[in-house]
Structure 1
Amino acid sequence: MAIRYTFNTTQDQYTRESLIEYTINDLVALTKLYIYWFCNKFDFLDRNSMDTSTSTSITHHEHTALPLYFILSDSHGKNLQSTIKTPYYQIKTRSISGLQWVNTYDYTLCTQTVLNSPSISSILSSATGVLFLIGTNSVRSMPALRIIQQVEAIANMIRLNHHHIDHLEKITIAATFPCLKVSSRFPTIDLLLNNINLYNQQLEILSRRLGFSFLDFHITPEHLHRDHLHLQHQYKNILHTTIVQYFDTIIAKQVKSPQSQHRTSTAITRRNKRRYEKLKEKQQQHILTRSLSQSWTIPDIKNILKHHAIKFARICSVANHKIRIQFNNTKDQQHADNLISLTFFDDNNFAIWHEQK
């Protein structure tokens, strides 16, 4: 009789149960592993994304650090903020009352010594450029030509110690403001002003020879306080405005788009023509009219306007004892309107002007 294997014995059942249990356990293990991975993969991706974003942010910050400009000033800069920030650059200022280019009696008031101090030297090491608002205390105590020698030595010293500050707009020296506070060395206003004018003339010549920038704030004696040395309160904003405009211009040159550098001559001509037409239209909206005596000539008019630091676009007409002066903007027109009285160009003022010359 044939033997039939039904696999229903106790041993067979135990074997099948063991295999089923092993399979189930193996499937559960795989399922748990999948659930663990699924639940954690997004956390991993988020953390990885965050790390990448942070790294990118840090790298971007390192590559987009704002240019730093440093201003060293005598007491004329005491009202400037210690740090001036704009979207494109930042400025650090240091004002020291009594500061001179060279002071052999007090080294704390000597520019040469101040620049070599650890704190200032550290700033210069990371600065894109430096602006000097210094000179008034020097021109009141020594001849202009001697001061120019000191300025030349200091400019050369900066370039020797800080090789990155070597291009035209890396070093800027401002013209010295008018000063009516006489000194023992220059006991009259005429002697003092002559020394200041000679210094500014020679400083501009030196800037071309050494290759640094010369900045004129166009300050006149009318801007001075009763102490005959500092600016009146209402004119102190001239410094901040002029400085920011100056550095804005420098930055604009540096970030000039490549497209504009490759314009054709025809495109440039067309663009310049449009600009000229817009400027001409703007100037026609800013006209100042004054009575004019026959004594005044066009050169005389231009010279006295320049003497009073009046920025005008052009003298558009002189007829019927009237003069019409055009300006580029409202600010220049208002400045002129405040300085040019209704009798500014009469015979009496003409005589006074020529006596002063």
Structure 2
Amino acid sequence: MNDLFAPTNLYFHLNKTSSLSSNPTNPINLNTIQINTALDLPLFLILADSHAKYFPPVITTSSYKLITKAISGLQWVNQSNTQLCATSIIIASSMSSLLSSCSGVFFLIGTNSIRNNSASEVIAQVDNLIDLIRSHHTHLKHQTDISISSVFPCLKPSFLFSSISTLLSNINNYNTLLNDLATRKNFTVVDLPITVDQLNHDGMHIHINHLPYLWSIIQQYFDILVYQKTTKPSLSHSRSRKAIARRNKRRHEKQKKRQAIQTVTRPIARIWKLQDLKTYLKYKNIKYGRLPEIRRHQLCIQFNNQLHQQHAEQILNFTDFDEQSYYNWISHEHS
């Protein structure tokens, strides 16, 4: 990717958003990566394209250490340039040494690949990479040991996808296939709630104002991941079926209460059909939990996750579901 913004104070701005982080060290070189020296802290790696270029290269929190290696233009596979090929980088001696001491790896890769290849081709590349990693690093065998982000919207057409609509369709297909692959290969897909409204003017990179938001989401993911890894495993397998049913019922009731609280409400015109509404929310990358029946022209969108609710509150205007917006959306869908 061609980076169109390079603020000198962005590292500082990102660091202010992570209260547990220490000051970042100098940028990492693949040939001089330092192995984890903090005896009691698990080490995690982020391998990313330029979306993570301004993330702190190294942070140490009270519960883990996180290294970010960001390479502009990085793809899952690049046959003409091994320095932009995640598969080649993973098997390099310095990276292999780092992974051998990591508790997990997070891939923020996909935009460059999906602009230049079909979704099925890219998924095959990811499939091969998962096998490659686990053949060399057998300790990364659990679902949360390998995490891959979904690809958020991109409005920059390419030679293969000459229109925005075909490119977005390819991205949606990729994200669907990625979730299917995660089920088969036992890794985690992390949905990043970035929308077209948060992109830079080039239509591909995230606007500088929203980079701290992206960083905070990823760091919260690691906070939760480490917490779950360090707590005792569930003993649900030894419980009776009735006990499991009671527990699941309580969880369901708690989820309903949480959804009732975590709600975004917007006025909506009668003309909006349910399928068009769902398609529009998907286009806006709104990760909702439930859509209750519309009453008195009020659309209530319920969420399981507070971050997703906050994201929707920021993105959705109060005129997004009026009659004119509906016709604009239908026109966009058929353009």
Give the TM-score normalised by the residue count of structure 1: 0.71
User: What secondary structure does 2:226 align onto?
Assistant: helix
Please give the per-residue CA displacement for 1:47-103, whole angstroms capped at 9, x wherever unaligned: xxxxxxxxxxxxxxx996211111110111111111122222111110011111111
The 2-side partners of 1:204 and 1:258 are apart by 24
Percent identity between the two aligned chains:
38
Alignment map for 1:113-192 (pairs within 5 Å): 113-192=88-167
The 2-side partners of 1:63 and 1:313 are apart by 39
1:133 Cα deviation (Å)? 0.9
Q: Answer yes or no: is 1:341 the counterpart of 2:284.
A: no
Q: Judge which range, 112-121 or 253-262, deviates more.
A: 253-262
Distance of aligned partners of 1:154 and 1:196 in 2 relative to their CA distance in 1, 3 Å threshold: same
| Equivalent in 253, 260, 267 of residue 291 of structure 1 | 267
The 1-side partners of 2:180 and 2:255 are apart by 35
More helix by share: 1
Structure 2 stretches of 5 or more lacking a match?
1-36
| Equivalent in 323, 330, 350 of residue 299 of structure 2 | 323
| Equivalent in 175, 183, 186 of residue 208 of structure 1 | 183
1:275 Cα deviation (Å)? 9.2
1:271 Cα deviation (Å)? 10
The 2-side partners of 1:154 and 1:274 are apart by 36
The 8 Å contact of residues 193 and 287 in structure 2, kept in 1 or not, is answered as no
Please give the per-residue CA displacement for 1:85-125, whole angstroms capped at 9, x wherever unaligned: 22221111100111111112111111122112222111101
The 2-side partners of 1:274 and 1:152 are apart by 34
User: What secondary structure does 1:92 align onto?
Assistant: strand
The 8 Å contact of residues 104 and 110 in structure 1, kept in 2 or not, is answered as yes
Give the TM-score normalised by the residue count of structure 2: 0.76
1:164 Cα deviation (Å)? 1.2
Distance of aligned partners of 1:258 and 1:311 in 2 relative to their CA distance in 1, 3 Å threshold: closer
Q: Judge which range, 156-165 or 266-275, deviates more.
A: 266-275
The 2-side partners of 1:330 and 1:212 are apart by 24
Kindly provide the amino acid, as one letter, of the partner of residue 113 in structure 2: S
1:266 Cα deviation (Å)? 5.8
The 1-side partners of 2:85 and 2:160 are apart by 19
2:283 is matched with 307
Q: Answer yes or no: is 1:241 the counterpart of 2:216.
A: yes
User: What secondary structure does 2:216 align onto?
Assistant: helix
1:321 Cα deviation (Å)? 2.5
Larger Rg: 1
Alignment map for 1:103-118 (pairs within 5 Å): 103-118=78-93
Q: Judge which range, 137-146 or 76-85, deviates more.
A: 137-146
The 8 Å contact of residues 68 and 89 in structure 1, kept in 2 or not, is answered as yes
The 2-side partners of 1:156 and 1:202 are apart by 17
The 8 Å contact of residues 74 and 96 in structure 1, kept in 2 or not, is answered as yes
The total of aligned residue pairs comes to 295
Distance of aligned partners of 1:185 and 1:285 in 2 relative to their CA distance in 1, 3 Å threshold: closer
User: What secondary structure does 1:318 align onto?
Assistant: coil
